[in-house]
Amino acid sequence: MSNRFDNKRLLYILGGLIVILAFTVLIKLPDESSTLKEKIVDFDSTEVSRIMLSPRSTYGRPFEFIRKEGTWIVRQDEIESAAKKLETDNIILELLSVKPQNLVSKSKAKWAEYEVSDSTGTRIRFMNKKGKVLSDLVVGKFTYKQSGNQMNMYGRGNIRGTSYIRVTGEDEVYGVEGFLALSFNRAFNDWRDNTFLSISTGDISSIKFDYPADSSFMLSNKDGKWFTDLIPADSAGVADYLSTLGNLSGQEFNDSFKPVSNPDYQILIEGNNMLNISIKCYRQPDGSLVLNSSLNPDTYFNSSPEGIFGKIFIPRKKFI
């Protein structure tokens, strides 16, 4: 009798504990789900006319993106430059698409751990034409782990990342899918348009090389055949050169240079279905080279003799 009584009492106790556990879960879950935002960033992307980005201190001073007549420029202090359009648009699109996976902290004491304080994270502010702040947040560190899934927009192959975000003015820290820190925690120059040449080389009909002394010459296409002045050109040499012109980027900006004389070297590219492209090179007193392309007319780049200069300004003998 005693054993039956004990067993029955244990069943009652166990049943009571299950009821208490179920009640606790029912109370706790709604409270947690109510604190998890459905979206962290929510605004009309067409209203954004200014983006202010403050990277971590190791990546330099803050800078801003300004939309002017449908195009983006990026500015830091007195330096203003065309921005990389696709990457600037991606700032808005990527943040609008993220959704919180979980709420990792409600405490300001955890900001340092997730690198979402004003000094350890990357702060991004979106503003409209009137200066109203549409969204203000801090992107912190990211973690990653191996995954068996195929590559998607938030992963790198079989690696999946989690980034940590905090909305400015709030204590909560959220984990979101993706590598946001890699996307946004970059220096000012990384966002600038460094296009030097971008040409459909099949449209080129002539290239005029204006060099010092008597070393100038003309490369021209006549009825499908290339000539160096009046001499038939080496077809392989021309093909290699044209492939180089197709897509070139500057590597080092020179924001202090202002031309005070005519260029020492100049190339004029003409063709069908394209505007003429002018490339200029200025040799400095110390022997350094500064280049400019009409495709990015307000931007100057430094080059070594083996850099862009050596790829573009080649001697006549290379085509013979």
What pLDDT, on a 0 to 100 scale, did the predictor assign at position 32?
46
In a domain, 12, yes or no: no
CA dihedral 194, 53, 73, 184 (to 10 degrees): 40
**DSSP annotation string for 236-252:** HHHHHHHHHHTEEE--E
Please tell me the distance from the alpha carbon of residue 116 to that of residue 171, in angstroms, as a whole number: 10
Regarding whether 213 and 164 lie in a shared domain, the answer is no
Q: Which region holds residue 27: left if phi is over 0, alpha if psi is between -120 and 50, else beta?
A: alpha
146 pLDDT higher than 50: yes
What pLDDT, on a 0 to 100 scale, did the predictor assign at position 198?
94
Average pLDDT over every residue of 48-73: 91
Domain that holds residue 110: 45-190
What pLDDT, on a 0 to 100 scale, did the predictor assign at position 159?
80
The fraction of the chain above a pLDDT of 90, given in percent, is: 71
In a domain, 303, yes or no: yes
Regarding whether 59 and 126 lie in a shared domain, the answer is yes
Average pLDDT over every residue of 149-158: 54
R_g over Cα of the chain: 30
151 pLDDT higher than 60: no
Q: What pLDDT band is residue 39 in, cutting at 50, 70 and 90? A: confident
pLDDT in tens, 211-262: 999 899 999 999 999 999 999 999 999 999 999 999 999 999 999 999 999 9
Single residue among 135, 161, 190 that ends a domain in this structure:
190
Single residue among 190, 221, 244 that ends a domain in this structure:
190
126 pLDDT higher than 70: yes
In a domain, 150, yes or no: yes
Average pLDDT over every residue of 50-55: 95
49 pLDDT higher than 60: yes
Is 190:184 a contact under the CB 8 Å cutoff? Answer: no
150 pLDDT higher than 60: no
Higher confidence at residue 160 or residue 298? 298
CATH number at residue 230: 3.30.1490
142 Cβ contact list (under 8 Å, min separation 6): 161, 162, 163, 164, 178, 179, 180, 181, 182
Regarding whether 232 and 150 lie in a shared domain, the answer is no
- Predicted TM-score of the model (pTM): 0.80
Mean of per-residue pLDDT scores for the chain? 88
Please tell me the distance from the alpha carbon of residue 83 to that of residue 73, in angstroms, as a whole number: 5
Regarding whether 217 and 182 lie in a shared domain, the answer is no
What pLDDT, on a 0 to 100 scale, did the predictor assign at position 230?
92
What pLDDT, on a 0 to 100 scale, did the predictor assign at position 37?
75
Q: How many domains does the chain have?
A: 2
Regarding whether 149 and 243 lie in a shared domain, the answer is no
56 pLDDT higher than 90: no
25 pLDDT higher than 50: no
